[in-house]
A = this chain, B = another copy of it.
Amino acid sequence: MKTVVILSELNQELSVLERPVGFVPTMGYLHAGHLSLVERARKDNASVVVSIFANPTQFAPDEDLEDYPRDIDRDLELLKKSGVDLVWIPTVDVMYPEGYQTWVDVDQLTKLLEGSYRPTHFRGVTTVVSKLFNAVGPEKAYFGQKDAQQAAVIQRMVRDLNYPIEIIVCPIVREPDGVAMSSRNIYLDQDERVAARSLSRGLGLARDAYQNGERRAEALKKIVRDEVEQEELAQLQYVSCADPENLEELEGEIQAGLVSLAVFVGGTRLIDNIILGK
């Protein structure tokens, strides 16, 4: 496994990789969710490239960029064991040198859900993913369903900008207690960790209700909301039942829906989601 930082090294190493190349962009502090993407990429491609970059432009000034957990030695060990060929770890200077001024924006999809609470977040995501795609030039790229809106936004960007890259969205990986894998789970203390279970528990109850015939968007959201609001340490930011394609909020009876939520548990913002009826 090779590790590179600057673009010329990256190009050098890319030029000797066997095609097709599968690409997994990450912000590091890897968990089983990331590794499931790597495993799928390994299965689908002759070579696997992973990037590790805690992208500052997708964090708002009041968010946790400074505290975002890092453990590069452990990350590299995990990636080596997973059979990754090349790891790109650009610095902020490599990605945003002086005079940097170009942005990629997806308009409508990014205004909803997460975007309504994090208005500059997706501009940072689409810009950095665009840069990563241009530099790595993979045949396929892998994203987690945990960031459901991110996956939808990236798929839209790829289609709109004619990227010749297939986007593969992989299922959420969960801890044994149901909590969705996230690098941010490390922030939670023991009590908060218990409260964090309410997200997946609420979603599970909504899925059960759907399977038992409940189709009203409001009722499904109320099931999730009630479950989270039982937890004193959990502060619900939103729960949504949206069209899985265009992410528009649904009302009344639904066929299929992306049920998603964001919750502050202590100072930690957690998200989770489930797709019903697809």
State whether A104 touches B103 (Cβ < 8 A): yes
- Contact residues of A with B, CB < 8 Å? 7, 11, 99-109, 126-127, 130-132, 134-135, 137, 156-157, 160-164, 246
Chain B residues near A11: list those with CB within 8 A: 164
Give the distance to chain B from A168, nearest Cβ to Cβ, in Å.
18
B105 near A102 with CB under 8 A, answer yes
CB distance from A52 to the nearest CB of B (A): 16
Is the pair A134, B106 in contact by a Cβ cutoff of 8 Å?
A: no
A161:B101 contact, CB within 8 angstroms: no
Number of copies: 2
CA distance A156 to B109 in the complex (A): 27
Closest to A131 in B: B162
> Are B130 and A161 touching (Cβ within 8 A)?
yes
A108 to B102, CA, bound (A): 9
Please name all residues of chain B whose beta carbon is closer than 8 Å to the beta carbon of A162 when the two chains form the complex. 7, 131-132, 134-135
Assembly CA distance A106 to B107 (angstroms): 16
Q: How far is the CB of A248 from chain B (nearest CB, A)?
A: 12
Give the residue among A101, A126, A127 with the most B Cβ atoms within 10 A.
Answer: A101
Would you give 30 A-B contacts (Cβ < 8 Å), ordered by A? Answer: A7-B162, A11-B164, A99-B156, A99-B246, A100-B160, A101-B107, A101-B108, A101-B109, A101-B156, A101-B160, A102-B104, A102-B106, A102-B107, A102-B126, A102-B156, A102-B157, A102-B160, A103-B105, A104-B104, A127-B161, A130-B161, A131-B160, A131-B161, A132-B162, A134-B162, A134-B163, A135-B162, A135-B164, A137-B137, A137-B164
